[in-house]
Amino acid sequence: QNFEGEEISLQLRNYDKARVLYITDGKAEFELPSSDDRLYPPALSFHDELEGETISSQALSRLLQKIAPSAADEGARIALLGVHFRARDGKLILEASNSHMISQGFISHESECRDAIVPKTSLLTLMKNLPLEEEVEFAADENLFWVKTSRLLFFTTLIDAAYPDTSKVFDRAKSNSTTIEVDKLAFRSAVSRAMILAKEEANKPITLEVEKGLRIRAKAENSNAKEDVDVAQISGELKTLSFNASYLSQLTSAVDRDQLVLVFGDAAVYFEDNNSRHLILAVRV
């Protein structure tokens, strides 16, 4: 739309070991670098005879909402830049981690999905385009992960890496633990208020003190905040741990329960609902 002529010309040329796309309209001329087309994933088509598994789009979308945010955005091992899909014992399991928090969830589904790591950025795009209520098809092969709806064929290349075993991390987190039960809305509201000060620090730390109740503390230069949160139940010994406030707010919002059961280990906090579990490692302050 930025060209004045009614017709434009596009021409791909090889120039000094590089490929350049020339766009002209007779007066204006643009030279744009291009990548080797062999790097582009093989195109799929609605007309291809794709053999996938059928799953509820609503169930898949909700599970992705719970798990995908825990995957790393940048600066981490390549495997952690995606969500790990695997099938075990009649369940489709998804897990993600950025080395500071871990999320794992499942759908009861007789799946033959191969182990695959799907890029987080691709899944965030997929989540925006999944229909609300529809049966969709999906599958992963050696190089691609694809999802097919009535109006969309979505596919992305996989991350070629080995995903780390996170099961032992969950087991260790619950040893020597202290457990409390709190109202989710009240807890998240208190965390949000404390985060106002915590945002000034690099890892957004807030401190959770568990003794006879729960106290949340935050501080910044020349500023301090503290708030007591009502606890329905408590068991275990005194714990004082600090966590990234953004991670706490983000992952507790994904829990489908009105009451949060927070399990504090020696260096982490753990919580779960009917089909997902989450762990956040403590930070030093």
For the chain, residues classed under CATH 3.10.150.10 are 53-164, 168-281
Q: Give the integer Cα–Cα distance in Å for 65 and 128.
A: 10
53-164: CATH homologous superfamily?
A: DNA Polymerase III, subunit A, domain 2 (3.10.150.10)
Q: What is the pLDDT of residue 121?
A: 95
pLDDT in tens, the chain (285 residues): 666 767 888 888 887 777 888 888 877 888 888 877 766 656 666 667 778 899 999 999 999 999 999 999 987 899 999 999 999 989 999 999 999 999 999 999 888 888 999 999 999 999 999 998 899 999 998 888 999 998 888 989 999 999 999 888 888 877 789 999 999 999 999 999 999 888 766 778 999 999 989 999 998 878 889 999 999 999 999 999 999 999 999 999 999 999 999 999 999 999 999 999 999 999 987
The predicted structure's pLDDT at residue 257: 95
Q: What is the pLDDT of residue 1?
A: 61
Distance between CA atoms of 27 and 188, rounded to whole angstroms? 59
Whether CATH 3.10.150.10 fits 168-281:
yes
- In sequence order, what are the residues at sequence separation of 6 or more whose Cβ sits closer than 8 angstroms to the Cβ of residue 115? 84, 85, 86, 163
Residues 124, 103, 183: CA angle, nearest 5 degrees:
105
The predicted structure's pLDDT at residue 41: 59
Q: What is the pTM of this model?
A: 0.82
CB-count burial class (<10 Å; 0-12, 13-18, 19+) for 100:
middle
Angle CA 263–124–61, to nearest 5: 70
**N residues, the chain:** 285
